[in-house]
Structure 1
């Protein structure tokens, strides 16, 4: 069921249609940035108040750590997960630079992990959600979003068909962006099959759309139910 992002799927399909066309590069970049702006707090793109603002604006700290059902995660986990994946893929795989996340960020966030959180158990998700410093988590995601926008603005048409290189994937592994657990390391194989356009179409856009939709659904449950699977 749709809880977030009316019209974004259609815009994403259009982006998919034009992103590899050399004569559409500026149009594709503009469309990417339009979609991306709606997936982050409005402050990172200086745009009007949006659905992500609405999601975050009145959440209390406890609600970031609620797991509504056994099939769900938490909003804190989602924000960590999508921010880490966007940072890793855009900074390292697309730009060929260092990720934003470093020891200083780990300390400020009070993070027990450095990877994307894909392989965490329910207990580990709850523990992460309760120990992360939410204000710093949002700050980290904002900085990741700003960097993504800078990276995309500098892309050229030839970049879109460039394949993800093995040494960049190795860098993600060496820096703890993924773990050796099966539910984590598969990401490297998934990303290895992408070109730069394919990365833009998934981690910083489609992937985020799906997770933010979950968060909006969970928030609705927070305001209507009294008991949850874990909190």
Structure 2
């Protein structure tokens, strides 16, 4: 994804923000959500008209660069591995537990074991020691596959949405599942408060699209710094 494509992505995201909660624009909002989402995730296994943001990140990316931590770049010290894992975890939690009220990809497809890391929460509030451990030990092949699986599930959920569902909100029972499954650390109450104020549309605009865009951009900065 080059600079021109990034500008186009941001312009389209602004359009989506204006129409996503309008019932008469439901079909257009779903289509645009899918297009914006697809432009971020790796295109492996499906056709893509242009290089996605994640495609650009993985291109000639060294394992040492992926796992390096800490890396001081604007707005972050985290490793590329952490950015990729964290953004996928947030999407998995919000789309499946809070959105579709179904099992997380992390568990339904056994990625909690396949990733070879003990961390099953969102990644918010992690200590430096834990980030260093995750960066060093996570299985990279499983991480790439997990992101692909999360993205595929999200596309299925978005494609099945009916008019009016963008304005739905998660129930107390759904939030209780987040706690019971330890998907968010107990110290991160602010995240529960933030999500409780969001409709399904809000989750699509942030975790599914903008949040991924931001973390992939931060990961690209790490790559550019370490692989000049």
Shift of 1:152: 0.2
Selected match of 1:174 from 177, 180, 189: 180
Summarize deviations over 1:187-228 as a string: whole Å, max 9, x none: 11111111111111110111111111111111110123xxxx
- The equivalences for 1:104-183 within 5 A come to 104-181=110-187
Instruction: Give the Cα separation in 2 of the matches to 1:97 and 1:169.
Output: 12
Residue matched to 2:13: 12
Structure 1 residues not aligned, in runs of 5+: 225-231
CA contact (8 A) 1:44 1:142 kept: no
CA pair 20-210 structure 1, distance change in 2 beyond 3 A: same
Q: Is the 8 A contact 1:39 1:52 kept in 2?
A: yes
Partner residue of 2:67 out of 65, 68, 88 = 65
The 2-side partners of 1:29 and 1:44 are apart by 21
Q: Could you tell me the TM-score, scaled by structure 2's length?
A: 0.91
Structure 2 residue runs of 5 or longer lacking an equivalent are: none
Following superposition, the deviation at residue 45 of structure 1 comes to 4.6
Task: Determine the C-alpha separation between the residues in 1 that align with 2:40 and 2:120.
Answer: 23
Aligned partner of 1:213 among 210, 213, 217: 217
How many pairs does the alignment contain?
A: 221
Q: Given that residues 37 and 44 in structure 1 are in contact (C-alpha distance below 8 angstroms), is that contact kept between their aligned partners in structure 2?
A: no
Contact kept? 2:65, 2:227, Cα under 8 Å: no
Deviation beyond 6 Å, 4+ runs, structure 1: none
Select 1:76's aligned residue among 77, 81, 99: 81
CA distance in 2, matches of 1:217, 1:61: 16
Q: Distance in 2 between matches of 1:75 and 1:95?
A: 28
